[in-house]
Amino acid sequence: MNKLAVVAFGGNALLRSGQKGTISEQEANVFETCSHLVDLIRSGYDIVIGHGNGPQVGNVLLQHEGGEKVFGVPKMPIDIAVAETQGSIGYMIEQQLRNVLYKADLERDIITIVTQVLVDKDDPAFKNPTKPIGPYYTLEEANKIALENGSVFKEDPRGRGWRKVVASPRPVRINNRKSIEKLARDGQIVVAVGGGGIPVYYRDSQKLEGIDAVIDKDLASSMLASQIRADEFYILTDISKVFINFNTPEQIALDRITVKEAKQLLSDGQFTEGSMAPKIRAAIEFVENGGKRCIITQAEDLGKPNAGTRIVLN
């Protein structure tokens, strides 16, 4: 049996700092990121891909708001915007990964599953929004928008501006996980839990419906990886390794840390919310639930010996 890996694409796999987000920019970014999966595939891994959608889902909501103001077209709630971006980003990944595989003389089916993820409507995250979505703004722009529609903004920890934040409840259950595992173990490459999954809850025991939130894609991908019994979990980001004292003269790259050490660093405040902290939590949860290791790294280092930061049980 091939090894099974879940690979969570970071936001820069689709849209990078300073880019406008045109389709040509995003397609080029996706092609480059997907090209780094070839070594894993050649090494005999079956692959499930998760991905973020923070910039895209925020942009879709802006489009909805603009359409309502200008044309009177009713705007859609966040769960619908997440579903839209799952479809559009899944399409880009399918297309560009197929181009990559063709160039590498590899043949695989690539299948996107629009994935609903159950959350708890009483999750305290609904009272404390932390998940950044959409574009970056100056403080003045953010304050103006907040006054207009009540949006909540927080400053980016890396100093790139201010972004709207929304509730980010924990995933409780991932729908269709058995089908995702079967497809992957049969050799298909599966794109699932895009943007963390479409957040849904049970209004009553027989009625499932969406709720306004964006689930963290790393936590959702981690849960999926555990539930489909993946051997390894890769979290792709835009830095080569996890650092402590990040962005200071004292920053230190971490090559390997245990779950116990990762928990202590979280407790010490070494990792910021909306950035590295959710990735570390996702890594911890995967390893504690039976995964062999989680590797946090940049796409171009994927598959290289000693790449990234490895989080292991002991």
Catalytic residue among 12, 29, 53, 175: 12
Would you call 176 a catalytic residue per the annotation?
Answer: no
Instruction: With beta carbons less than 8 A apart as the criterion, state whether 82 and 133 touch.
Output: no
Catalytic residue among 10, 11, 195, 303: 11
Q: Collect all residues with Cβ–Cβ distance below 8 Å to 265 and sequence separation of at least 6.
A: 244, 257, 271, 280
Would you call 292 a catalytic residue per the annotation?
Answer: no
What is the Cα–Cα distance from 303 to 282, expressed in whole angstroms? 20
Catalytic residue among 131, 164, 194, 195: 131
Would you call 159 a catalytic residue per the annotation?
Answer: no
Would you call 12 a catalytic residue per the annotation?
Answer: yes
What is the Cα–Cα distance from 48 to 248, expressed in whole angstroms? 35
Instruction: With beta carbons less than 8 A apart as the criterion, state whether 253 and 243 touch.
Output: yes
Catalytic residue among 29, 52, 279, 291: 279
Amino acid at 133: I
Catalytic residue among 164, 196, 217, 274: 217
- SS3 category, 253: strand
Spell out a b/e string for 33-63, using b for 16 or more CB atoms within 10 Å of the CB, else e.
bbbbbbebbeeebbbbbbbbbbbbbbbbbbe
Would you call 279 a catalytic residue per the annotation?
Answer: yes
Q: Which residues are catalytic?
A: 11-12, 131, 217, 279
